[in-house]
């Protein structure tokens, strides 16, 4: 698959983390600002080694060290602005950015200032770059129920205009989904969509729990479902999409290699999948690269890759007019490519 053709394709990104999308330049600049109080290298050339993970627990440890660099509302605004600019450069027209307000609020950033910063950056990105952003407020599972209490409070009390969904991230081992069942029930009752991570570093039971306990409408990762035929049939029949991030799964050692990635198994079983980048600079990837990887795993041509973009648009929480517009852009792009 020609990477330039994929780069030009209008796309939707449904599983990408706010802090995890900070470019090496941004991370190094923040690390220099906080030098002496952070283990993160202030040299962009050293970040590749720093972002080499031994297992999922090590990935979480490194991720949280980068989170610790975001210490005030100006940092939040700068990060958000640069992340949305970088996505727009890949022709991402619509993104649901996974944001973890708890990790900033607990470091002293007032919730109102945090939300104002991301909202200001969202409005500017749409005006300047044509990318529409929405937020998924994510519970950091490693911080337990107190972090869920704070995340839910911010979501319901501050209610930033771009907020569309409620999520759960972090390590799965030792963090049962049942802890967060009341929070998701309240969020859903308030009109937020449910999009927890599940089945990334845990087994199929975690995916089932996300459905049964958290009312998941989409699932972050969910690749463990490939080991359970009945679960895949349920996902197919209920049209619950999995937000699959192939390179991420290899980098965090959730999957041994791209050749062994279960994406083809999931697709063969009829499960709805979207392709996403997760924490792209940390994994030396981009959404464009993930589409190329998926094309290779699934033996897709440009029409097949465009179908992935259409699926992401369909299962997104974008307004109907935004969905129609983006599908129209995808169709027009493919027609133009054929005419060349």
* Cα three-residue angle 101-69-127, rounded to 5 degrees: 60
Give the whole-angstrom CA distance, residue 154 versus residue 166: 11
**138: part of which helix (H) or strand (E)?**
strand 132-140
Residues 255, 249: contact at Cβ < 8 Å?
yes
Across the strands, what pairs with 169? Answer: 140
Tokens of 42: 């202030």
- Closest Cα to residue 329, out of 128, 96, 131, 81? 131
Which of 96, 200, 217, 243 is an active site residue?
A: 200
| 200 among known catalytic residues | yes
- Closest Cα to residue 32, out of 20, 46, 42? 42
Instruction: List CB contacts of 325: < 8 A, sequence separation 6 or more.
Output: none
Instruction: List CB contacts of 319: < 8 A, sequence separation 6 or more.
Output: none
Give the whole-angstrom CA distance, residue 287 versus residue 78: 21
- Residues with a catalytic annotation lie at 200
């Amino acid at each position: 698959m020609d990477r330039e053709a994929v780069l030009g394709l209008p796309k939707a990104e449904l599983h990408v983390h706010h802090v995890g999308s900070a470019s090496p330049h941004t991370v190094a600049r923040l690390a220099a600002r906080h030098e002496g109080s952070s283990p993160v290298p202030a040299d962009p050339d050293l970040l590749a080694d720093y972002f080499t993970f031994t297992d999922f627990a090590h990935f979480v440890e490194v991720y949280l060290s980068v989170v610790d660099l975001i210490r005030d509302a100006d940092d939040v605004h700068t990060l958000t602005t640069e992340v949305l600019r970088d996505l727009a450069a890949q022709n991402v027209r619509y993104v649901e950015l996974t944001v973890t307000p708890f990790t900033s609020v607990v470091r002293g950033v007032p919730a109102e200032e945090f939300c104002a910063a991301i909202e200001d950056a969202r409005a500017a990105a749409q005006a300047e770059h044509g990318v529409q952003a929405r937020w998924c407020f994510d519970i950091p599972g490693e911080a337990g129920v107190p972090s869920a209490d704070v995340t839910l409070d911010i979501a319901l009390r501050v209610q930033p205009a771009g907020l569309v969904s409620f999520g759960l991230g972090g390590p799965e081992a030792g963090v049962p989904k049942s802890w967060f069942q009341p929070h998701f029930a309240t969020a859903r009752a308030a009109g937020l969509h449910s999009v927890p991570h599940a089945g990334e570093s845990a087994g199929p039971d975690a995916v089932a729990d996300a459905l049964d306990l958290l009312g998941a409408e989409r699932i972050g990762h969910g690749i463990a479902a490939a080991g359970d035929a009945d679960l895949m049939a349920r996902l197919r029949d209920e049209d619950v999409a999995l937000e699959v991030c192939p390179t991420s799964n290899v980098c965090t050692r959730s999957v041994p290699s791209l050749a062994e990635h279960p994406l083809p198994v999931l697709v063969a079983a009829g499960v709805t999948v979207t392709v996403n980048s997760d924490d792209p600079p940390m994994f030396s990837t981009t959404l464009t690269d993930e589409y190329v990887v998926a094309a290779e795993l699934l033996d897709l041509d440009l029409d097949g890759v465009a179908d992935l973009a259409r699926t992401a648009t369909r299962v997104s929480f974008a307004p109907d007019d935004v969905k129609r517009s983006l599908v129209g852009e995808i169709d027009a792009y493919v027609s133009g490519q054929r005419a060349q």
